[in-house]
Structure 1
């Protein structure tokens, strides 16, 4: 997921921690400093995993090195305590420098929220088509939920109002509101979302803002958690249904074909339109087929051609039925792939991450890529 989404989820956990303290000790007033410490700990924990991105840029990597390092070691559970420890060390050094004494509650908050931030980062990164391998080195398999786009404005407009109302700093509020407006602008002008759906999301965001004016922070937190769960539930159920439907139908339509993988990614904030990539083995088992296209959830409401028009004016290559259109199709040799795997360490390394591998020769060079 994008770092704004990670930060918003982290901020939600910080607000939950403050709410927990107030419930546990109603007479205790949570100081502004403690709130800030909790928020910073959660924000740092929610984003520290992506330090691999910054480090890889500083090392000026090749595209393959960047691919292998991003979502690499920092995106594993075994390194989570070390990353949380690094954040705690930063607070400790800052406290020593500024002669600040962190009390027991603040120290506990720093440690727990930093660690929880890392874990939630891994969880939310697993929700898209690129996934994570959190159990390395014990298990190097990748987990892909294929249910959310990397940038999800639904999450932005749902969680940003919580930060807006929980803060008493007008400059911070102005900053939060500017991100909120940017999220709405992305919804209206990105081109991925039909205007009717954009109007629904805008109405929802306005409703959340108005609703939060009349409720306390505990109720706001409960609403945000429920809404976030509902967003994931809707997209998750759609993804699961589409995967099963596509696999079953394609294997029935072509005798001997086995669908090995169905890769899905919804359009941003648009549950009606999905990017689709399939990996299929052919009857001879000597070759496999890759196809990329667009699938419409309810084709009678919004056709796949209309979905395709939102992102591209490409000519449709083939049309399977009323709810799928294909823009790319290729057949490749499994034996050739095995040869490349044994011959090239670069291909072998890339296959740890790639889900839909293809390659081609150009100017005497081998280009190996992922159809995603």
Structure 2
């Protein structure tokens, strides 16, 4: 997920932890404890992304692909990260030391806020098609949620609105709310959000604002509803994703009954459970080949036909009322994929990331990311291994397409 989502959800969770705890007897200590809960949960919600500094350990693009969402995104290594963060807060923030020494609720709250932040980070990253491998080294396989867009405004609204309504000054309450509404409107005008999604987001935000206003400064109902609303949205996306995969599987079975569907990667549109981009991987054992297809899908074309999905993220030119369109496909020999994996150690390392490996004449790329604004950041030149040493320190993630190797 984007770090704005991580930050806002982390701040909301930290605020909720603070409000659940019994109040401190000293008002000054109560204020310090609140700041500690906010900062610790916010920091824990972003801490794992410090693995970006490790990208230089491997040649491009392997460094980013294999080290981002790497070891810092595993449940086992969350423990030393949490201990390091707590130690930094203790050493660098003298005001909190007195609170933690004197208050058992503050100590319990700090553990809860830090633990929640790290779990939220991995859990939110697991929601999209990029994937994580949280159980490494016990299980090296990638986990793909395939249900939420990597920039999700539902999380922005859920985190920002209750927090903004807790600000004491009316101007400072209004400023972030107006900025958030303006940002959502901008993305809608630019074609990233559907107008129906904008209306739903504004209604969700207005409901949270009214709930927090009625609850008062000490109320926690809006925070609870916001986090439950975000969970409900994830559940809705999960159900829509599963239905979408069924539609794709049925369509591909009609196109080629001889092929076996191995996997379908689903990418949602933001705040939109109806519009999806999919990439499928099929294998034909008889022909000794595998096929990738990339397309778009509306799971409810009567309510929202494919040509009405947000234009900035749409691919191809679907006709009116179309439910599914395939915009790109590639068939490649399994023998070539396997020969590259055995003979080219850089390609072998790359295959520890590639879920949808598309082979060109002189490069390989993951078809999940073929239309990003900065191009396909996964592209690997296939001649880079000639006469060069193999990269050292390649993480032992499982091969997403072990079923082809």
TM superposition score normalised by structure 2: 0.81
List gaps (5 residues or longer) in structure 1: none
For residue 351 of structure 1, what is the aligned residue in structure 2?
Answer: 351
State the match for 1:301 in structure 2: 303
Rounded to whole Å, the distance in 1 between the matches of 2:305 and 2:312 is 11
Q: Check the 8 A contact 1:41/1:109 in 2, yes or no.
A: no
More displaced 10-residue stretch of structure 1: 174-183 or 294-303: 174-183
Aligned to 2:86: 88
Q: Which SS does the other structure have where 1:31 is aligned?
A: helix
Whole-angstrom distance in 1 between the partners of 2:322 and 2:315: 19
Q: How far does residue 40 in structure 1 lie from its aligned partner after superposition?
A: 0.4
Alignment match, 1:121: 121
Change (3 A) 1:273 1:181: same
Residue correspondence of structure 1 range 193-204 to structure 2 within 5 A: 193-204=193-204
Residue 101 of structure 2 corresponds to residue 101 of structure 1: no
Q: Which runs of 5+ in 2 are unaligned?
A: 369-405
Q: Which residue number in structure 2 is paired with residue 160 of structure 1?
A: 160
Contact 2:268 2:277 in 1 (8 A): yes
The 1-side partners of 2:156 and 2:367 are apart by 29
Contact map agreement 2:69 2:132 (CA 8 A) in 1:
yes
In structure 2, the residue matched to 1:228 is: 230
Distance 1:39 1:46 in 2: 11
Which stretch of structure 1 is more off in the superposition, 222-231 or 160-169? 160-169
Q: CA deviation at 1:188?
A: 2.1
Distance change in 2, residues 1:40/1:178 (3 Å): farther
Task: Summarize the alignment of residues 1-372 of structure 1 with structure 2, pairs less than 5 Å apart.
Answer: 1-22=1-22, 31-56=30-55, 62-95=60-93, 100-103=97-100, 104=103, 105-168=105-168, 173=173, 176-177=176-177, 180-181=180-181, 183-216=183-216, 217-282=219-284, 284-307=286-309, 309-311=311-313, 314-315=316-317, 322-361=322-361, 366-372=362-368
Offset of residue 13 of structure 1: 1.9
Q: How many residues align?
A: 361
Q: Which moved more, 1:215-224 or 1:34-43?
A: 215-224
> CA–CA distance in 2 between the matches of 1:28 and 1:313?
58
List per-residue Cα deviations over 1:47-97 (Å, max 9, x = no partner). 00000124437x79522211111001111011101111111111121145x
Alpha-carbon deviation of 1:168? 3.7
Q: CA RMSD in A?
A: 2.7
Deviations 1:283-333 (A, max 9, x none): 5251111111110111122222333744357456xx9x9411111111011
Query: How much has 1:229 moved relative to structure 2?
Result: 1.6
Q: Supply the distance in 2 between the matched residues of 1:176 and 1:167 (Cα, whole angstroms).
A: 10
* 3-state DSSP of counterpart to 1:274: strand
Q: Report the more deviating stretch, 295-304 or 67-76.
A: 295-304
